[in-house]
Amino acid sequence: MPAPPDSIDDARRRARGAATNRTNRFERFVHEAEDDGWGLPEDLPPIRTEVAEERARTIITRNTSPDVPFDRSINPYRGCEHGCVYCFARPSHAFLGYSPGLDFETRLIARPNAAALLEAELRKASYTPEVIAIGTNTDPYQPVERDRRIMRQVLEVLQAFRHPVGIATKGTLVERDADILSEMGQAGLARVGLSVTTLDPALARKMEPRVPSPARRLAAIETLAKAGVEVRVMVSPIVPGLTDHEIETILASARDAGAVAASMISLRLPREVADLWRDWLQEHYPERFNRVMTKVREMHGGQDYDPSWGRRMTGEGIFARLMQDRFARATKATGLATRLPPLRTDLFRPPPRAGDQLSLF
């Protein structure tokens, strides 16, 4: 199948997930590249990653979703350079005036005051500790974190306050923070979920172009496990007709690396992600297009996506149940837990600041 007519040249989008940069849904006008008619060759430069800074006013985001086991989260970055073509967070970039396509993975927003804001919120007398989830929208360990170190600063605050945290990532940069995570993990204050979608390095490179290889992610699980951190392998998203046959082997490999728990989520294609995914599938696996999309629609009531609570992460129907049954059998066979004891909240203590009156007790 041919690439979409608005596809950006391969050389310009090398190692990127999206093929297009379509105008976001809130814009009144659509922007399209047009030949100027001169017929002269023009070599346009590769699309580079740009990082802007946002001085946020608050950093903890609250939610009441019945589909997730947490009510608060932190995102040190907006957008994600990992470039996973299937990322359900892509539509959130439209709220910034950007495209959920290439803009999402090349026009990033860093929040350098995240740690300071977090400390201020945790010191409020009204604050009640519950697990803070990090990495629920965009990855805190994407490449930009290596220099920015915003996630590291956030972790240092949580460690100082003895505040529980759950982290989700595909980035092996999480190993850098094994010192903090080890201490917090052994105190029952931290866990890490590491996503492994496939063990096929060629498929991973196409689908998640700037994510470390599957083997490298398994090595990160081993590093964290040896440091005393409980690690959950997240088999997500599972792509029917493309990666679903790997459920058992991913779980076994993660168990062998030291993971103690596992979770799964089926492919989600909200809003603009559906078009981006179809374009990608047509470009890289045209022979599987009908098979994959037929199964996706079977799982979502005949649509590309069903956003209903209770179904959006699992799907419904025979194929969805088959995947869930296989996952249940595989976790039992590998000894991986699907539920872990809650992280501790009783250790929460705001550390004293210089000049504070110390307690006599």
pLDDT band (50, 70, 90) for residue 3: low
* Average pLDDT over every residue of 166-185: 98
Q: Which domains are delineated in the chain?
A: 51-334 (3.80.30.30)
Tell me which DSSP letter residue 195 carries: E
> What's the pLDDT tens digit per position in 294-349?
999 999 999 999 888 878 888 899 999 999 999 999 999 999 999 999 999 999 99
Q: How confident is the model at residue 4, as a pLDDT?
A: 76
Q: Which own/partner pairs from 3-11 qualify as long-range (CB within 8 Å, at least 24 positions apart)?
A: 3/279, 3/282, 3/283, 4/279, 4/282, 6/32, 6/33, 7/279, 7/283, 8/47, 8/102, 9/44, 11/46
The reported pTM is 0.93
* List of residues 6+ apart from 131 with CB closer than 8 A: 70, 72, 164, 165, 166, 342, 343, 345
